[in-house]
Structure 1
Amino acid sequence: MDMSLLSAAALAGFVYGITPGPGVLAVLGIGAGQGRRAGAAFLAGHLVGDVLWASIALVAIIGVAAIGPLVFDILGLISGIYLFWLGWRAVRVSRSSDGVAAAPVRNPLLHGTIFGLTNPKAYPVAVATFTALLSAKAGLLTWSMLPVLVVASCVGGLMAYAILVAVVGAEAVRRSYRRHEILITRMSGVLFIGFAIHALLHAAPGLLPRRPA
C-alpha cells in the first residue's frame, strides 16, 4: 500500500471532518449550550454518517478510476469546479447564518447520527474532497484498497473530531467563534478553493488534446 495514498485519504477525512459546514456549525452550537460531553456525543453519532458517505465516495472514485483515467479526470474537473464554487461562496459571505441550536438537544448521539446520515451536502462534498486529494494517485487505486482507505479516512476524521471536542464548549472559543464567524467561514472558503485548484491542475492535463509525436 502506497503511504502517500493512505496519507491523502487520511487528510481527506480530516479536511472533510474539520472544515466548517452544517455539522461543524451544529456541534459548535451544541457545545456552546451543553458543553463538551454533548458535543462529543453528537460527533460520535455523526461519525456513522461520515463513514457511510466516505465509503460511498471512495467506491465511486475507485469505480471511476477502474474504468479509465479520462473519466476520473472528468470527475476531478467537476469536483474542482464544485469545490471552487463552495469556496467562492464562503469567501464572499457577508453575514452570519443560523448555525446554533435554538433549544437543548435531548439526545446528542441520536441527533448526530441522524444529522450525519441525512446531511444533503455530505455526499457531494465527500466526493469532491476525496477526489481532489486522491486524483494525483488515481492510477494506484484498486478495489482491494477500499477497506484500508476507509479506515485511513476515519482516522483522519477522528483526528478532526478530537480537535473539535478539545475546543468546543470553551467560553473563550464560543466568544471568539461568534466574533470571528465571518473570518472563519472565509478562511474555510480559501481552503476549499485551494483544494479545487489542486484537483483542476491534476485533471486538466488529461483533458487537454495531446500533440502528435
Structure 2
Amino acid sequence: MELSMLIGAMVAAAIYVLTPGPAFLAMLGLGAAQGRAASAGFLFGHLAGDVMWAGLALVAIIGSRVMDPVVFHALAMVCGVYLFWLGFLALTARRKTEGGVDMIIRRPWRRGLVFGITNPKGYPVAVAMFTALLAKNADMLDWGSMGGLLAASLVGFILADLILIWLVGLGFLRRFYLRHQIWIVRATGLIFIGFAVQAITSSLPGLWHWRKT
C-alpha cells in the first residue's frame, strides 16, 4: 500500500477530530469545568464513535470504487459539494453560545461514547473528509487496503485526541478559543472549502472520461 494513502487516511482522521464542532465544544466546556482528565475521558470514549464512522465511511468509499470507478468519482463530487457547503456555513456563522457544561459529569468516557456513536453528522462528514483526502489514490483503493487505512485512521484519531488533551489543559488557549471562536470556525470553513476544491478537481477527469465514453 502506498504511504501517501496511509498518510491521507491519518490526516483525514486528525482533521475530522480537530475541526471545531459539537463534540469539540462539549470537550472544551468539560475541560473548563472539570479539568484535563475529564476531557481525556470524554475523548477516548468518543474514539469508539470516530472509529465506527470512519469504518463505515471507508466501506462506502471502497465499495463505490470497486463497483465502478465512475461511482467513486460521483461520490467525490457530491462530497466536495457537501464540504463546500459546510465551509460556506462556517464562513457565514454568527456568534452564539453553546456546548458549555454546567454540571458535573461523573463518567466523562460514557458521555463521550454516547456523543460519538449518536452524532448524526459523523458519517457524512467522515465520508466527505476521507473521500477528499483519498481521491488522488482512487486507483489503488480496494478491500485489501481497508485494514491499513482503518489502522492509519486510528493513529490519526489518537494523535488528534492527544493534541486536544494537551490544549484543553492550557488556560490561556481555552480563553483564546472562547474569545475568538467565531474566527476559528470561519478559518475552519476555509479549510473545508480547500478540501472541497481538492475533491471536486480530483473527480472531474474521471467524470469527463466517463461522459466521453
Same fold (TM over 0.5): yes
> How many residue pairs end up in the alignment?
213
Matched, 1:151 2:151: yes
Flag structure 1 segments of 5+ consecutive residues without an equivalent. Answer: none
The alignment's TM-score, normalised by the length of structure 1, stands at 0.96
Q: Which amino acid aligns with 1:35?
A: G
Tell me how far apart the structure 1 counterparts of residues 167 and 182 of structure 2 sit (CA, whole Å). 18
Ranges of 4+ aligned residues in structure 1 off by more than 3 Å:
209-213
Flag structure 2 segments of 5+ consecutive residues without an equivalent. Answer: none
Alignment correspondent of 1:43: 43
Per the TM alignment, residue 18 of structure 1 is displaced from its structure 2 partner at its CA by 0.8
Tell me how far apart the structure 2 counterparts of residues 101 and 62 of structure 1 sit (CA, whole Å). 39
Per the TM alignment, residue 209 of structure 1 is displaced from its structure 2 partner at its CA by 5.7
Alignment correspondent of 2:101: 101
Query: Aligned with 1:208: secondary structure?
Result: helix
Residues 87, 191 of structure 1: 8 Å contact kept: yes
Counting aligned pairs with the same residue, the percent is: 49
Residues 33, 102 of structure 2: 8 Å contact kept: no
Alignment correspondent of 2:169: 169
The alignment's TM-score, normalised by the length of structure 2, stands at 0.96
Q: Which amino acid aligns with 1:111?
A: R
C-alpha distance 205-174 of structure 1, shift in aligned 2 (>3 A):
same
- Compute the RMSD of aligned alpha carbons: 1.5
Tell me how far apart the structure 1 counterparts of residues 104 and 201 of structure 2 sit (CA, whole Å). 45
Per the TM alignment, residue 104 of structure 1 is displaced from its structure 2 partner at its CA by 2.2
C-alpha distance 152-186 of structure 1, shift in aligned 2 (>3 A):
same
Q: Which amino acid aligns with 1:203?
A: S
Tell me how far apart the structure 2 counterparts of residues 154 and 85 of structure 1 sit (CA, whole Å). 27
Tell me how far apart the structure 2 counterparts of residues 198 and 207 of structure 1 sit (CA, whole Å). 15
1:14-33 paired onto structure 2 within 5 Å: 14-33=14-33
Matched, 1:115 2:115: yes
What CA deviation, in whole Å up to 9, does each residue of 1:135-173 have, x standing for no partner? 111110111111111010110111111110001132212
